[in-house]
Amino acid sequence: MEESSSSETRKRTRTESEAGPIGEAGTKRDEEFWFKDGNVVLQAGGVAFRVYQGSLSLNSEVFAGLFSVPQPTLTDTFDGCPVIELADHPDDLRHLLRAVFVDQTFYRHNAQLPFVVVASVVRLAHKYGMEHLRDDALERMKSCFSDDLHVWAKAEASEGSALMTYDYTDAIAAVNIARLTETQSMLPYALYTCCQLDTEVILNGVPQKNGTTERLTQEDILRCLNARSTLVHDNIIFAYLLFTPTLPLACADQVCHASLQCLAQANLTFEGELEDPTCLADWITWLAHNEQTRSYNNLCLNCQAYMQLKARELRSDIWLRLPHILNLDVRVRDPSAEDP
């Protein structure tokens, strides 16, 4: 049993007359998890959940250890069930209980879940020693905050994967969860995403619905602020090298050379997009579909293929350097070894 978990999980002595019976003043029964034949009541943030000791014990080493300890006769009870107070938000606990008591169908991999749900499960499953649930939820999180460039790029373009949706501001919680669970592979992209946030958000964090604020540690705040200048620099260099290449020698079409000059003039403005740290942006899709570029501005197919290759090489180079830019002792996967 983890010491930190057991210290936050305690039983207290109370009679219904002291604090009001469950379902009345101060505490309400949860509408979803109140099993009439349940044999233990979990109380969190003024909400009571009546569930089963056996299922909790099978899934949680922390709860199993708690229930194995003989309890004093004055332990708080409701309808003969012991009442256990937890220092968790009821919404977070509800997400975890769905994974435990709804036959785990709520978390099967054919369902796409929002980040807030996945984060709740990771944190509480980690706290209560439910490794299988924690690892499953972490796999969902890693489907978006990945160390694989191709996996990340697909999720970034779609604002999520088949397993999880997320907002950019969720990256702060992703960093903290990666630290909590020692999932180092999530850190490079999660911190890179934090670098895209407004400075005020990086410094002050993101308010949560439960009244708390999700904040980076002081060390990670400095890491993001220090990395941003390098990322902006790399964004400019990326664009410069992409739009001022030597076209394939086999191409003698002057139209291609003129088209490339037009692309450079349109994109090397240093006003706006190049001044932000989005150096891993997908230039290939931009050039193919943006109205201003009109399918690479009419470059021939050979020259288009050349620019696509150059863009992939430049993007892969930044991806491999990302841990160094962010001052992380972490490796990411080499995109060139896994090109689709």
Q: Tell me, what's the pLDDT at 1?
A: 41
Per residue in 249-273, pLDDT (tens digit) is: 557 777 787 877 777 777 776 555 5
Per residue in 102-155, pLDDT (tens digit) is: 866 556 667 889 999 999 999 999 999 999 999 999 999 999 999 999 999 999
pTM of the model: 0.84
Q: H/E/C letters for each residue in the chain?
A: CCHHHHHHEEECCCCHHHHCCCCCCCCEEEEEEECCCCCEEEEECCEEEEECHHHHHHHCHHHHHHHHCCCCCCCCEECCEEEEEECCCHHHHHHHHHHHHCCCHHHCCCCCEEHHHHHHHHHHHHHCCCHHHHHHHHHHHHCCCCCCHHHHHHHHHHCECCCEECCHHHHHHHHHHHHHHCCHHHHHHHHHHHHCCCHHHHHHCEECCCCCEECCCHHHHHHHHHHHHHHHHHHHHHHHHHHCCCCCCCCCCHHHHHHHHHHHHHHCCCCCHHHCCCCCCCHHHHHHHCCCCHHHHCCCHHHHHHHHHHHHHHHHHHHHHHHHHCCCCCCCCCHHHCCC
Q: Give the confidence band of 14 by pLDDT, cuts at 50, 70, 90.
A: very low
Per residue in 63-101, pLDDT (tens digit) is: 998 888 776 654 677 778 888 989 999 999 999 999 898
Per residue in 96-107, pLDDT (tens digit) is: 999 898 866 556
291 vs 40, higher pLDDT? 40
